[in-house]
Amino acid sequence: MIEIPKEKLPKHIAFIMDGNGRWAKERNLPRIMGHKEGSLVVEKISEVAFNWGIQYLTFFAFSTENWKRPREEVEGLMQILDESIDKFKDKLIENHIKLKIIGDITALPPYLQRRIKYALEETKHGENHILTVAINYGGRWDIVEAAKKIIEDVKKEKISLNSIDTKSFSKYLSTSDLPDPDFLIRTSGEYRISNFMLWQLAYTEIWFTPKYWPDFNEEDLKAACIEYSKRKRRFGGLEDNA
């Protein structure tokens, strides 16, 4: 359990799960073994976070740039995603957790598209929490797709050009039904956001750890949340006593 008042916990945590390949390499294992180990950590961390009362979790599983990796690794990642979604689905249903996928799934292998659509249908009534997985996702892609939809609606006279503002723009993003992340955790010691949720992370608190994702555990999540609870979020303004 975590000794932090619920109101001081982030409602939405996003994760950039980095370091799987390096974790495997340091153990003289194939890179894909790091990704397999990392998929188990997603399950463990999700269970812990949801039990603490955190409502939304988002995991960056596969970016639009990850297609540049060796074919064997990409194919292995697709299989791991397929197996993980199938395995995790029943637990999501049991705990009334809704699965959400963001990204262009039309580019994924047909078998994975089928798995995703089935899991989304089976978990759509989940009302306790939302677990989002970003697959073939990029922040720039998300913004461009939103712009295309807005252009179409303007052409169809569903909205006027002058009515578009930051609030209405957000409704066209793939995360339109999610609050922006309060907290971003990135593992492996890299200090960048790697084209992840560029619009949504505008005022997100960020926490970096040198640990590789397969080594990330409950104690690390607790340490991150304790750090978050001490921060003052001003969203560009000033504190009341400033």
d(CA 98, CA 212): 27
Q: How far apart are alpha carbons 186 and 193 in whole angstroms?
A: 8
| Residue at 145 is within a domain | no
CA distances from 106 to 93, 102, 137, 149 (A): 25, 11, 11, 17
Helix, coil or strand: residue 102: strand
Residues in Cβ contact with 128 at an 8 Å cutoff, skipping those fewer than 6 apart: 50, 95, 96, 97
Within 13 Å, how many C-alpha atoms sit on residue 43's CB side?
18
Phi, then psi, of 55 in degrees rounded to 5: -85, -35
Closest CA to 199 of 120, 127, 140: 140
| Residues with a known catalytic role | 18, 66
The CA distance from 4 to 224, in Å, is 12
Residues 228 and 225: their CA atoms lie apart, in Å, by 5
* pLDDT value of residue 237: 66
Query: 120 in a domain, yes or no?
Result: yes
Number of domains in the chain: 1
Judge whether 165 lies within some domain.
no
Q: Are 26 and 73 in contact (CB under 8 A)?
A: no
Residue 130 bridge partners (DSSP): 56, 98
Give the distance, in angstroms, between the CA of residue 113 and the centroid of all CA atoms in the same chain: 18
Residue 236 within any structural domain of the chain: no
pLDDT at 242: 47
pTM (two decimals) = 0.94
Q: Record the tokens describing residue 23, joined without a space.
A: 């974790």
Residues of the domain holding 99: 9-138+179-230
- Tokens in use for 170? 């957000």
Q: Which domain CATH number covers 183? A: 3.40.1180.10
> What is the H or E stretch that residue 184 is in?
strand 183-186
8-state DSSP, 70: -
In a domain, 146, yes or no: no
- Rounded CA-CA distance 200/221 in Å is 21
Rounded CA gap, 218 and 205, in Å?
A: 19
Residue 151 inside a domain? The answer is no
Tens of each residue's pLDDT in the chain, 242 residues: 788 888 999 999 999 999 999 999 999 999 999 999 999 999 999 999 999 999 999 999 999 999 999 999 999 999 999 999 999 999 999 999 999 999 999 999 999 999 999 999 999 999 999 999 999 999 999 999 999 999 999 999 999 999 999 999 999 999 999 999 999 999 999 999 999 999 999 999 999 999 999 999 999 999 999 999 999 877 776 565 54
Is 109 contained in some domain?
A: yes
User: Quick one: which of 101, 93, 33 has its CA closest to 61?
Assistant: 101
pLDDT for 193 equals 97
Q: Is residue 186 part of a domain?
A: yes
